[in-house]
Structure 1
Amino acid sequence: MAAAVQPGDPARIGAYVVRGRLGAGGQGVVYLAQAPGGRPVAVKVLRAADEEAAALLRREAEVLPRMAAFCTAQVLEVGAAGAEPYVVSEFIEGPTLQQAVAARGPLRGRELHRLAVGTATALAAIHRAGVVHRDFKPGNVLLSPEGPRVIDFGIARPVGDAGAGDEVAGTPPYMAPEQFRPGAGAAADVFAWGATMVFAASGAPPFGAGPLPALVHRILRAEPDLGGLDGDLRELVAACLAKDPARRPAAREVLLRLLGRTPSAVSDPLAAGSAAARAGGPAPEGTARLAAPIKAGGKARG
């Protein structure tokens, strides 16, 4: 459920009536709102409407329409309320992976495999759309009843200029070694996917937390702690966490390995992956049947 509005929150944003808060961060606030026809939507509003922050919001609005509907919340409108720009997107009920693990502990067995397939499918689709997310992490994986959705593309980049500029961006426990210098590409998302799967299975990222210098040292030099992972998934995640980005599998290969297929055996792995990640109904031939949708407490996200 959404949290209550706070003093100073707007009653309306453009044509949308604010009903509650879905989340807040350094960039701004995400509100649960009601569209004129009654539909619930998520509205992300910047806290500080400086040009850099506005550019991040515009980039998110430009990137999201490239994604398949099963990957993320879809953008409905981009606007401005006075000097504050906002993006309206589809509202999706469900906790984040971070919230779900905090509420009831790590995932196991078929439930973990279902999450792995669904998130790998989304990541492969994101990369096929020509986008590098750059901040894939448990807090940006939304567990909807229809399967995982990847959210928050505020620092995403097109593949061709993922290393443009000189900023270092991301969430440190889930950042690849190359993200601590300019020039990281799609392989950094694969590393972050592997780190996220470790968190899902153990409740902690593979290199721990704590002071940034020590964390960065472990990411650059230490072997990951793969926690509760075992079997083929453990082997796959270990490959995704390779220090050298050239040694990591591409997102499409990750998905195919999860499906137990070779590249020549599947004409469209995204279709197979999205079908396997949906609850109910038979899984495509050669894939595992997956558990029912993850249900847990926590705030809804859009």
Structure 2
Amino acid sequence: MSEELPLHINIREPRWDQSTFQGRAKHFFMVTDPRNLLLSGATLEDARRVVENYRSGTVSPGLTEDQLWRAKYIYDSAFHPDTGEKMILIGRMSAQVPMNMTITGCMLTFYRTTPAVLFWQWVNQSFNAIVNYTNRSGDAPITVGQLGTAYVSATTGAVVTALGLKSLTKHLPSIIGRYVPFAAVAAANCINIPLMRQRELKFGIPVTDEDGNRLGESRAAAQQAITQVVVSRIGMAAPAMAIPPVIMNALEKRAFLKRYPWLNAPLQVGLVGFCLVFATPLCCALFPQKSSMRVSRLEPEVQALVREKNPHMEIVYFNKGL
């Protein structure tokens, strides 16, 4: 009979060392695995039970360490780390590759006409709004008004950028026009994410000590978290929106695609998907999920709270969101 699994395994943290890029990359390859979308509700609930039981000191009979880590990653793929609520299916990080490859592929394929630009930018920002809401940091609620403002502002910003650049590049080589969607996506991310998380900027996000004990809420931490997410999202989109246009521009000059023009969209979507399979986890891994900040960079009132609880503390931690 195998020994019962010990209770000292820290499943509140990722399995791999998050102080290194390699460790974070391994973690996010697991988190963004699209196969997690196919898991049944019963499997998700079973993973939740295993994780919550283990955290409370109860080990499921026969549970191995590999099974525990598998349950932890299934749990993390579907449940918000701060609130514990089940996340919207298409808002989960495991939906990033299949959803983005379809939307981005279509944005890059149908960029020539104004109605197509309007439609696909709207679809993209609708998806981004769901993702940003689902993966917000902290446990603060977002009002319908804040959601609406962020959604309308980001969609407007993306459409204005796309149409403005489209008109400016009208007389330039076609390869230049293919990069208009990327500029629009980058601009929209700079608008959408801060607006969707404006409550965090106004009231702050929870900051903790190394053991996860809550010390207060910080606006400075929220600013750092949101900046890191914006950089990651733009980086995530860059390879998928920069490499396929070069390949497609070359392919469209050849007889093959002229003979089978209907292959344009599937090829574009496939190329984008290939890029995203790697770009999504690698760009999520640019910054630690459990981000940190020196106490001296917090707001004076938050510094006072921290010093009151631990006069010698130099670093606080927070969930940056995704």
TM, length-normalised to structure 2:
0.25
Q: By percentage of residues, which structure has more helix?
A: 2
Select the structure of larger CA radius of gyration: 2
Q: TM-score, normalised by structure 1?
A: 0.26
Q: Please state which structure has a larger fraction of its residues in strand.
A: 1
